[in-house]
A and B are shown apart, each in its own frame.
Chain A
Amino acid sequence: MSNVPADLKYTKSHEWVRSLPNGNVEVGITDHAQHALGDLVFVEVPEKGRKMSAREACAVVESVKAASDVYAPIAGEVLEGNAALGTTPELINSEPYAGGWMMRLKPSNPKEVAGLMDAAAYSRFLESEA
């Protein structure tokens, strides 16, 4: 079973969103997603300052098998991409919800986060997809 932390929000395209105390958010891909992709070998995160709309393809994760897009869970501006993934993309495999975070965003509309799935809803979504 995939690990689905209770304190995060989720998308149907398997990104997670963590609300930070300062109102910004941290984004990564879920344990389910990293497991489905297999060993990650290359990650491309968006540049600081990039403005994106919700569901826009904004990053790429490449496993040994294939390249996959990562989508912006909400609209916002990129504050920082996780530079550590440049040399250690496997952090996404080993700690998808911690060291494997991909980017930090300043939400265009802070209320948008509330509209995402909570852990229970995402778990049900995974079961329905299996």
Chain B
Amino acid sequence: MGLKTPLHSRHESLGARMVDFGGWDMPVHYGSQIEEHHAVRRDAGMFDVSHMCVIDLRGARVRPFLRKLLANDAAKLTAPGKALYTCMLLESAGVIDDLIVYAMDDSWFRMVVNAGTRDKDLAWITRHAGEFGVEVRERKDLAIIAVQGPNAREKAASLLPEDRREAALAQDSFFGAVVPGTRFGEVFVARTGYTGEDGWEVVMPATQAVEFWNALMAAGVAPCGLGARDTLRLEAGMNLYGSDMDESKHPLESGLGWTIAWQPADRDFIGRKALEAIKAAGSPRKFVGLLLEDRGVLRSHQRVVGNAGDGETTSGTFSPTLERSIGLARVPAETRERVQVEIRGKLLDARVVKPPFVRNGRPLVA
């Protein structure tokens, strides 16, 4: 038996097909993964992401701690509620995890890390927090529901007290705020997500998760499983930890160079030295998007044959929006536009493109 989120029995009562996901018993779909995908691209869908791990970090020196711990720079989090996507690296520059960190206030930051990396993340964070006097607290008492899609915020806002809605809807992208006094208790509403659509991720008391979920359903938000979450994130060109990168891969060969804050040059974050050496030498491999031109479906660990040698797909799926197969791959740096992917012994034509494939409901590749 896997771990269960507070919504587990609700998923079962909705007829979800449950699968193991990193030790958690999670819904993969509630009937049709493709319809759930389209619900998010065209209207509003919701995901139980309570398996993800919320970690609160408190202390007077929490910011200097994060500037050391994370490859992106917590100094960018100047305004309260601001969120930052970042990698947490080993000294070798291998990726321990990718995560979002929110500045709650000057001495309180909140991280949301992957479910499958929870144990090692907590151990790593705790190991380095000591010298900064930062308290590390996992919030098992919280649940998270991601509400995503062009109409997601509007529908979800109807669950908030009337006098709080306007401010919540006015919140900028990549910002979050605590909303007290809702009928679900105090909730944290952040305009972030993993689908390439507008929306919120709402953190609430675990005891309120079922009520919140039911209220969203009543507001016209479609339950969506992790299957649709994967096709949505792939269309959005977003990495999946453990598939697209892990501790044996560095950000510069994982399409995550944009998350590295090189300036100021004297900020000594963990992994910086190794990463600078890689950057100076030039990464021999790059991370690209693939569009399959022949019929078939890209999956992870397929061989990519190109002009500069072989590479490998790290993720692949059928894109419901583009109605063709897309993938992410790590290939030699000199690889040009035309490649072939080996699927069941056959070499199929594919084209190298720059992700994302789809954003805000619109295809970006053709």
Interface residues of A (CB under 8 A from B): 36, 38-39, 41-42, 44, 60, 62-67, 86
Interface residues of B (CB under 8 A from A): 17, 28-29, 32-34, 37, 227, 231, 295-297, 299, 317-318, 320, 325, 344
Closest Cβ of chain A to B314, distance in Å, is: 16
Flag if A38 contacts B28 (CB, 8 Å): yes
The 9 closest A-B pairs by CB, nearest first: A41-B318, A39-B34, A62-B297, A64-B33, A42-B297, A38-B33, A39-B33, A64-B318, A39-B32
Q: How far is the CA of A66 from the CA of B298 in the complex (A)?
A: 10
Flag if B317 contacts A64 (CB, 8 Å): yes
Flag if A38 contacts B297 (CB, 8 Å): no
A-B contacts, 8 of them at CB < 8 A, read: A38-B29, A38-B32, A41-B34, A60-B344, A64-B37, A66-B299, A67-B299, A86-B295
Question: Residues of A contacting B17 with CB < 8 Å?
Answer: 36, 38
Flag if A42 contacts B33 (CB, 8 Å): no
A42: contacting residue among B29, B295, B320, CB under 8 A: B295
Flag if A67 contacts B34 (CB, 8 Å): no
Question: Residues of B contacting A65 with CB < 8 Å?
Answer: 28, 33, 227
- In the complex, besides A36-B17, A39-B33, 15 extra interface pairs with C-beta distance below 8 angstroms are A38-B29, A38-B33, A39-B32, A42-B296, A42-B297, A42-B318, A60-B344, A62-B296, A62-B297, A64-B34, A64-B227, A64-B231, A64-B318, A64-B320, A66-B299
B318: contacting residue among A36, A44, A62, A86, CB under 8 A: A62
Question: Residues of A contacting B33 with CB < 8 Å?
Answer: 38-39, 63-65
Flag if A41 contacts B297 (CB, 8 Å): yes
Q: How far is the CA of A128 from the CA of B125 in the complex (A)?
A: 46
Flag if B297 contacts A67 (CB, 8 Å): yes
Smallest Cβ-Cβ distance to B35: which chain A residue: A39
Question: Residues of B contacting A62 with CB < 8 Å?
Answer: 296-297, 318
Q: How far is the CA of A44 from the CA of B297 in the complex (A)?
A: 11
Q: How far is the CA of A62 from the CA of B297 in the complex (A)?
A: 7
Q: How far is the CA of A67 from the CA of B297 in the complex (A)?
A: 8
Closest Cβ of chain B to A62, distance in Å, is: 5
Q: How far is the CA of A42 from the CA of B29 in the complex (A)?
A: 19
Closest Cβ of chain B to A97, distance in Å, is: 19
Question: Residues of B contacting A38 with CB < 8 Å?
Answer: 17, 28-29, 32-33, 227
Q: How far is the CA of A38 from the CA of B318 in the complex (A)?
A: 13
Q: How far is the CA of A64 from the CA of B31 in the complex (A)?
A: 13
Closest Cβ of chain A to B211, distance in Å, is: 29
Q: How far is the CA of A67 from the CA of B299 in the complex (A)?
A: 9
Q: How far is the CA of A62 from the CA of B231 in the complex (A)?
A: 14
Question: Residues of B contacting A60 with CB < 8 Å?
Answer: 344
Smallest Cβ-Cβ distance to B323: which chain A residue: A41
Q: How far is the CA of A36 from the CA of B28 in the complex (A)?
A: 11
Q: How far is the CA of A86 from the CA of B295 in the complex (A)?
A: 9
Smallest Cβ-Cβ distance to A36: which chain B residue: B17
Question: Residues of B contacting A39 with CB < 8 Å?
Answer: 32-34
Question: Residues of A contacting B320 with CB < 8 Å?
Answer: 64
Q: How far is the CA of A42 from the CA of B317 in the complex (A)?
A: 11
Q: How far is the CA of A86 from the CA of B33 in the complex (A)?
A: 20
Q: How far is the CA of A127 from the CA of B299 in the complex (A)?
A: 32
Question: Residues of A contacting B299 with CB < 8 Å?
Answer: 66-67
Q: How far is the CA of A41 from the CA of B316 in the complex (A)?
A: 13
Q: How far is the CA of A63 from the CA of B317 in the complex (A)?
A: 9
Question: Residues of B contacting A63 with CB < 8 Å?
Answer: 33
Q: How far is the CA of A84 from the CA of B29 in the complex (A)?
A: 26
Smallest Cβ-Cβ distance to B19: which chain A residue: A65
Q: How far is the CA of A36 from the CA of B18 in the complex (A)?
A: 11
Closest Cβ of chain A to B271, distance in Å, is: 34
Smallest Cβ-Cβ distance to B226: which chain A residue: A65
Closest Cβ of chain B to A65, distance in Å, is: 6
Question: Residues of B contacting A36 with CB < 8 Å?
Answer: 17
Question: Residues of A contacting B344 with CB < 8 Å?
Answer: 44, 60
Question: Residues of A contacting B29 with CB < 8 Å?
Answer: 38
Smallest Cβ-Cβ distance to A66: which chain B residue: B299
Smallest Cβ-Cβ distance to B296: which chain A residue: A42
Question: Residues of A contacting B295 with CB < 8 Å?
Answer: 42, 86
Closest Cβ of chain B to A59, distance in Å, is: 11
Q: How far is the CA of A66 from the CA of B295 in the complex (A)?
A: 15
Question: Residues of B contacting A66 with CB < 8 Å?
Answer: 299
Closest Cβ of chain A to B15, distance in Å, is: 11
Question: Residues of A contacting B297 with CB < 8 Å?
Answer: 41-42, 62, 67
Question: Residues of A contacting B227 with CB < 8 Å?
Answer: 38, 64-65
Closest Cβ of chain B to A33, distance in Å, is: 13
Closest Cβ of chain A to B196, distance in Å, is: 17
